[in-house]
Amino acid sequence: MGYYVEVERGVKLYVEDTGEGIPILMVHGWPLDHRMYEYQAALLPSYGYRCIQVDLRGFGRSDRPWQSYTYDRLADDLLAVIQSLQLRQVRLIGFSMGGAVVVRYMSRHRGFGVTQLILLGAATPRFTPSSDFPQGTPVTEVDKLIKQAYTDRPQLVTSFGELLFANPVSQSLRDWIRDQGFASSVHSMAFTLYSLRDSDLRPDLPYIRVPTWILHGKLDQVCPFPLAIETQKGIAGSRLIPFERSGHAVFYDALPEFNSTLLSILS
């Protein structure tokens, strides 16, 4: 079932809601949408989970306002969804940029309604290096992506899709991922790249006080594995599960192993 939730006046997010039972709120990465979780949403309801997949503002079928693409605003949108749907005991999942957004949610809103956090190939604690953080994608490279978003967005989406996988996948699967990127708006893609480039989530991590699992591909070319190590260090009691032969798209690149692991850690 699909419907819209108003998160602020004049802005609605699209939500795909499947199954009944324990709620799992699933947040996609850049520049994808809720469809990236198709092979999890097709499985988890059989085990008593309600899969709530949301399109962030500017992506997928959600509204695309001109401004407000900071992590704070995206986290506030998640709060509006959780409150509107009256969700409690939520298992919150975030992939890539979505991982950064859910981390900001946990700190900014003190984890309201959430009892478990799962980070997948997360763009945390920083996506770009700084003077005291050597890991990540150089700022100059992100600037190039922003420029390309305004000059050749189709090639940007296509090229990014090539970085997601460490294992062979069908051309049809690559086309499907590419089409998700095409469904986003140019300004949402660019403005969230600014957020990826400039945000530092290290101060957010100590505020996470629910059981947290970090699932990350060792062959990730987008959010290199050392980011997962640093994230794990910053979240007390968190568990890091490496996927030895997976790239960034761990939700598909290691599909059988990933789904089995996800079922085993959901509490």
Catalytic residues: 96, 220, 248
Residues 192, 97 contacting (CB under 8 angstroms): yes
Q: What is the dihedral of CA 82, 31, 59, 265, to 10 degrees?
A: -20
Sign of CA dihedral 100, 122, 261, 257: positive
Residues 59, 26 contacting (CB under 8 angstroms): no
- Edge to edge, the sheet with strand 11-18 lists 2-8, 11-18, 49-54, 22-27, 90-95, 114-120, 212-217, 239-243
In the chain, what is the straight-line distance between the N-terminal and C-terminal CA atoms, in Å? 24
Concatenated DSSP letters of 214-265: EEEETT-SSS-HHHHHHHHHHSTT-EEEEETT--S-HHHHTHHHHHHHHHHH
The C-alpha atoms of residue 32 and residue 215 are separated, in whole angstroms, by 19
215, β-bridge pairs: 120, 241
Report in angstroms the alpha-carbon separations of 265 from 89, 214, 217.
15, 11, 17
